[in-house]
Structure formats: C-alpha cells, structure tokens
C-alpha cells in the first residue's frame, strides 16, 4: 500500500522516507552512470588516453564541495543539501543534450541510448526529491543555490570524431564522479539526520 | 640509466587513505633512488610522496590529509642513480574508484534446530574494522561462497548489505567450507576472501527436517 495513497490530503512522507527514496535513487543513478561510462570507455575510448585529457574537464569543478569524509561531516546539513541541489541542477542541461546527442554516435548500442535517457529522467526526479527534503528544513525560497552553467553542447556536435568522442567521454566521466559524490553525501546525511550517525 | 619503474597498484582500504606500489626496473647494479611525484586535478603544483615507509618498500602511503576524492591524481615514479634517471608512465587515479576493503571479520557459523521447523545454518560477520559504516561514508555489500570440503565447485551467494545469512539447503553428514568477501557497493574492487571456515552438518539431521 503506498504510504501516500492517491487523493489523500495532507499526507506527507516522513523525512526518513524521503531520504530512503533519495538514497535509492542516487544509488541507481550512480550505478547507471558507472555502466554507461564503462560501456562507452570500452567501445570508444580504448587506446585514446582520454583520461589524461579529461583532467580539469568537468564543468562542475567550479563548485566547491567537500573532498573527504571530515570535510563532508563538518558541513552543515542545509549547506550540503544545497550543494547537492547545485550539482544536480548543473547536470539538468547537459543530460538533456546527452540523451539526444548520443543517438548520433556511430553504432551506439541501445544500452547506451536508453541509459542516457533513463539518467536524465532520474536526475530530474532526484532533484525534485532533494527540493522536498530542503523544504522540510526551511520554507524559504529554493532555487537560489549556486550551480554551474554548461556550455559543452558545441563540442558534442563537432565534426572531428576524436574530439566529439572525447567530449562525450568527459561528460560521462564527470557525471559518474558527480553522481558518486551526491550518493556519498546523501548517505552521510541520511545516517546523520535519520539514524543518529549509527547506520 | 635505470629502467623505468612501473606503478603496479593503487588501493584505498576504507575510502579515507590510499597507497600506491611500484615495481622497480633493472638498475644495472647501481644503487638507485625512487621518487614518487604527483599532481592533483585543478592544481599546477607537483608534490612528492608524503610517506614512503608506512606501507613498506616501493610504496607511497597517502594519509587522510593527503587524500581527496572526486579528483584525479596524476602519479609518476622516477628512478635515479649515477647513470641517470628514468620516469614511469603516469597513473591517473580517482581514489573513489580504487576502494578495495579488507575482508569481513568475526565470522560465526551456527546450526539452529528449532522445534517443528527446518534446521538451518546461520552465518554472521562484521565489516572490516577500518570501514566506517556507521556514518554512511562507506557502504559495503557482501558475497559468500561455499562448497563441500571435497567438492570443486563453489556456490556463490550475493547477500547485499546484510551481515547475516541463513542457509537451509545443506546435506546431512557433509563438511562444508565457507568464505565471505565484500566491496563498496557498486564501485571499487572485491576484498580478498576471508579465511576458510568449516562446518559439519550432523548426520542425525534427517532430510525430512530440511
């Protein structure tokens, strides 16, 4: 029986339930991001040394986020949630274009195509979920969090194949990283706020 | 000059610190010194290994203070002696993806014989001590394997994040070997298998009970 059956009024998921769903979703998104990255890497990146060129290539690098456990643990939960929201929002636009542009990659397997579409959709869902969680902490305006603009669409449409594939590689590499970051922060927050740091 | 060394492995046992190991090349019999150098994504500066000792010979240990996640380390090792020097190929490392925990510990096996219900074997274990599960920083998933003592084929069972497992389908009079390993859920590498644990299923344990 769904916790909030349709039509029920004033029925609110508990914060614990919201976090449970957010962690499940972020876990799934990271799993997809790892699979799509590995599949792309195996099929299109072997021997091209893209990783060496991908260093400093993430559009979200400008967002200052905790880089280790201590930093994350010392970050107030509202700040961490806003950071998560900022990273998620930074990926809205690129994931939309990834899902459409990936169709144009030569002999792109269906598994890469549907994962790109699935990731875009799930990332939007997670963003909505995080907004709900933030809303539980303060009723203030949501949406003024810092996020990073992506200007990479032209590089996904380059005529030169190597450059175009490198652009896709960088995007998938950066998304895998950021989805792992979001997943790690959400688990920390869930254990901190819901399980009193005793997961 | 010495042959160029090879960085053979980098590993983080608990997603908080990490270590890299290298294999020296031939040094022509000349005393040769090894220097590990690294730079981090987004920074121009080049650093030297913070600790050559803790993890033993031909290694560099990065403690918490020197370990960052979601950032690429560009790591090389230079071999130098009186004849000259040579540098390894670079190794690009994101510590997030080199997590390989230690095996689970405190493994217990217990046969349970409830009245009027099936007899079964209960396995329990604990996460490796270094892994901080409580804060949520690291989430582990487990897999166990078992086989009859004289058997060849392991039966592998993925048990997710739980630290207990009940087994019902064991043959009376048989002795079984059981091992468990773990990994960070959905990334990183499986740990080594735990030591082998043995359990003998009593013969008075009639098939009907199963």
Q: What is the ipTM of this complex?
A: 0.88
Interface check B137 vs A, CB under 8 A: yes
Question: In this structure, what token pair is assigned to residue B57?
Answer: 């010979």
Residue B209: pLDDT over 50 = no
Chain A hits for B186, Cβ within 8 Å: 27, 30-31, 34
User: Of B67, B70, B137, which is closest to A180 when you measure between CB atoms?
Assistant: B70
What's the rounded Cα separation, in Å, for the pair B67 and B164? Answer: 33
Tell which residue, A83, A126, A112, A114, has the closest CA to residue A172: A112
Q: In this complex, do A73 and B135 lie within 8 Å of one another by their Cβ atoms?
A: yes
User: Of B16, B132, B186, which is closest to A31 when you measure between CB atoms?
Assistant: B186
pLDDT digits (tens, 9 = 90+) for B5-39: 999 999 999 999 999 999 999 999 999 999 999 99
- pTM score, whole prediction: 0.90
Distance from CA of A10 to the nearest CA of B (A): 31
Spatial CB neighbours of A154, under 8 Å, sequence gap ≥ 6: none
Tell which residue, B167, B93, B91, B103, has the closest CA to residue B129: B103
Q: What is the b/e burial string over B81-105, where b = at least 16 CB atoms within 10 angstroms of the residue's CB?
A: beeeebebebbebbbbbbbbbbbbe
Distance from CA of B194 to the nearest CA of A (A): 23
- The larger pLDDT score, comparing residue B128 to residue B207, is at B128
Residue B206: pLDDT over 70 = no
Helix (H, G, I), strand (E, B) or coil at B198: strand
For residue B210, what pLDDT is reported? 39
Q: In this complex, do A184 and B69 lie within 8 Å of one another by their Cβ atoms?
A: yes
What's the rounded Cα separation, in Å, for the pair B87 and B187? Answer: 30
Query: Which DSSP letter does residue B156 get?
Result: E
Spatial CB neighbours of B209, under 8 Å, sequence gap ≥ 6: B113, B118, B119
Tally A–B CB contacts below 8 A: 73
Helix (H, G, I), strand (E, B) or coil at A145: coil
The pLDDT mean for chain A works out to 90
pLDDT digits (tens, 9 = 90+) for B45-95: 999 999 999 999 999 999 999 999 999 999 999 999 999 999 999 999 999
Task: Give Cα separations from A111 to A37, A153, A157, B97 (angstroms).
Answer: 11, 22, 21, 23
Tell which residue, B103, B69, B13, B189, has the closest CA to residue A188: B69
Sheet containing B18-23, strands listed edge to edge, beginning at the edge strand earlier in sequence: B6-11, B18-23, B59-62
Q: In this complex, do A51 and B92 lie within 8 Å of one another by their Cβ atoms?
A: yes
pLDDT digits (tens, 9 = 90+) for B134-190: 999 999 999 999 999 999 999 999 999 999 999 988 888 889 999 999 999 867 899
> Could you tell me if B138 and B184 are in contact, meaning their C-beta atoms sit under 8 angstroms apart?
yes
Q: What is the mean pLDDT of residues A111-138?
A: 95
Q: In this complex, do A187 and B137 lie within 8 Å of one another by their Cβ atoms?
A: yes
């Amino acid at each position: 029986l769904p916790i909030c059956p349709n039509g029920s009024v004033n029925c609110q998921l508990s914060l614990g339930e919201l976090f449970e769903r957010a962690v499940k979703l972020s876990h799934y998104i990271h799993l997809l991001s790892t699979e799509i990255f590995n599949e792309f890497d195996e099929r299109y990146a072997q021997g091209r040394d893209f990783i060496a060129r991908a260093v400093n290539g993430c559009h979200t690098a400008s967002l200052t986020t905790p880089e280790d456990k201590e930093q994350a643990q010392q970050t107030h939960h509202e700040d961490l949630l806003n950071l998560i929201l900022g990273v998620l929002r930074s990926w809205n636009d690129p994931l939309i274009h990834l899902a459409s542009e990936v169709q144009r990659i030569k002999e792109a397997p269906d598994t890469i195509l549907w994962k790109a579409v699935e990731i875009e959709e799930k990332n939007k869902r997670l963003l909505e979920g995080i907004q709900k969680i933030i809303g539980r902490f303060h009723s203030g305006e949501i949406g003024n969090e810092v996020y990073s603009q992506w200007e990479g669409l032209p590089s996904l449409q380059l005529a030169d194949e190597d450059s175009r594939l490198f652009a896709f590689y960088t995007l998938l590499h950066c998304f895998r990283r950021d989805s792992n970051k979001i997943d790690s922060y959400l688990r920390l927050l869930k254990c901190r706020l819901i399980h009193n740091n005793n997961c | 000059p010495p042959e160029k060394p090879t960085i053979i492995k980098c590993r983080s046992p608990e997603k908080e610190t990490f270590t890299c190991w290298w294999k020296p090349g031939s040094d022509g019999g000349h005393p040769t010194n090894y220097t590990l150098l690294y730079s981090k994504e987004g920074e121009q500066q080049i650093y030297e290994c913070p600790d050559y000792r803790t993890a033993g010979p031909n290694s560099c240990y990065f403690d918490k203070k020197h370990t960052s996640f979601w950032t690429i380390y560009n790591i090389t090792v230079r071999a130098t002696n009186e004849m000259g020097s040579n540098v390894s190929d670079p190794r690009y490392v994101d510590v997030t993806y080199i997590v390989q925990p230690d095996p689970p510990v405190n493994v217990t096996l217990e046969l349970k014989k409830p009245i009027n219900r099936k007899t079964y074997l209960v396995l329990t274990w604990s996460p490796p001590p270094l892994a901080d599960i409580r804060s949520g920083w690291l989430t582990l998933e487990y897999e166990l394997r078992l086989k009859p003592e004289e058997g060849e084929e392991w039966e592998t069972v993925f048990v997710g994040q739980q630290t207990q497992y009940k087994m019902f389908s064991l043959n009376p009079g048989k002795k079984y070997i059981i091992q468990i390993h773990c990994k960070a859920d959905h990334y990183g590498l499986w740990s080594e298998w735990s030591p082998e644990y043995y359990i003998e299923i009593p013969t008075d344990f009639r098939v009907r009970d199963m």
